[in-house]
A and B are shown apart, each in its own frame.
Chain A
Amino acid sequence: MVLITLVSSDEQNFPVERELLKQSGTIETLIVNMNLDDEDTDAAAMPIPLPNVKGDVLEKVIQWMEHHKGDPVKEGDNEDNNAEIVVPQWDDDFFKPAMYGSKHLELTVAASYLDIKNLLTLSCKAISNTFKGKTGPQIREEWGVPNEFTPEEEEAIRKENEWSE
């Protein structure tokens, strides 16, 4: 089993199974370009630095990739299927403890940076699921969004979308 070492922004080393990293477009490209797959390359001696991902976030990403080992990797954008995306129970439980906080947002940003399409899709879908049946002010409170609208502006927005007689 070939291990490749990922180095987080806070200099933590994470030896990861080569096979798992196929899920990350960014790392896969690096591995191919650095010829880490070649037999005569000492992959262990060439750690991959990830200056945009903190150790605790990278740990979560690796956990997620381990669970999803062998899943087919999505290619390209299939924009028309947005409505059909369902967050599986395991992923929902995985995201839940950190939801509404910076950890889930950092995980989402890392998924985008590392180009892990399935993780990005599920992570964004999980965020959008938290808006169901909520009003704007409720979402604002839950997600720490500061209110920039004056009462007049809020009234104007409400009126714009109201049924006019």
Chain B
Amino acid sequence: MKLAPFKLKQSLLSLFKFLKPMRNKRSNSGVNPSLLTLPHDLLLIIIEYLSTDERIEFGRTCKRIQQLSFALGKMVFDGICVSIFDQEVEAIAINTNHSFNSYVITDMRLLRKARAELLRIEIVCKSDNDTKKCRSLYQKL
């Protein structure tokens, strides 16, 4: 699923159109000039220059940046483990200082264009006994 950079930018911009009213409100309210005066495309460039750890801290500053960082994807992890249960897919992404799980369960976009040193895929069957069997089998690999 490779999008041309231009298309990617366009789709991200349209995705975040809904955030615009929030931004306008803020700029009219007389708040000091801040990083948030930058448009989405420039914030996306800045986010791309950060390491995964730096991005997490940057994402803690405000909701707009958190969502932009999230939608951009392209994060680098040490390892990603994807579990496939019947119809559901769960994933955990791990880095030296952080692990991401609840994010991923609710929204797989975190893993968009992600890179990792290690990828483990588990296929888990439905019944309890089978579940254990499959998990151990794949962990040996």
Which residues 136-161 of A have a CB within 8 angstroms of B?
A: 136-137, 139-140, 143-149, 154, 157, 159-161
Given contacts A146-B34, A161-B98, contact A120 B45 (CB under 8 A): yes
A77 at the interface (CB under 8 A from B): yes
- Give the contact stretch, choosing among A41-49, A66-74, A123-131: A123-131
Interface of B is mostly: helix
A82–B75 alpha-carbon span in the complex (Å): 13
B130 at the interface (CB under 8 A from A): no
Q: Digitize B18-43: 1 where CB-to-A-CB distance is under 8 Å, 0 elsewhere.
A: 00000000100001111111110110
Could you tell me how many residues of chain B have their Cβ less than 8 Å away from some Cβ of chain A? 36
B31 touches A136 (CB 8 A): no
- Give the contact stretch, choosing among B59-67, B82-90, B116-124, B132-140: B59-67
In the complex, how many angstroms separate the beta carbon of B39 from the nearest chain A beta carbon? 7
Instruction: Determine the chain A residues whose CB is within 8 A of the CB of B35 once the complex forms.
Output: 105, 127, 143-145
Residue in B33, B49, B66, B103 whose CB lies within 8 Å of A124: B49
Residue in B5, B34, B37 whose CB lies within 8 Å of A77: B5
A144 touches B34 (CB 8 A): yes
Instruction: Determine the chain A residues whose CB is within 8 A of the CB of B49 once the complex forms.
Output: 82, 85, 124-125, 128
Instruction: Determine the chain A residues whose CB is within 8 A of the CB of B42 once the complex forms.
Output: 108-109, 112, 120, 124
A31–B50 alpha-carbon span in the complex (Å): 36
Instruction: Determine the chain B residues whose CB is within 8 A of the CB of A135 once the complex forms.
Output: 57, 60
| A interface list, Cβ under 8 A from B | 77, 79, 82, 85, 101-102, 105, 108-109, 112, 120-121, 124-125, 127-128, 131-132, 134-137, 139-140, 143-149, 154, 157, 159-164
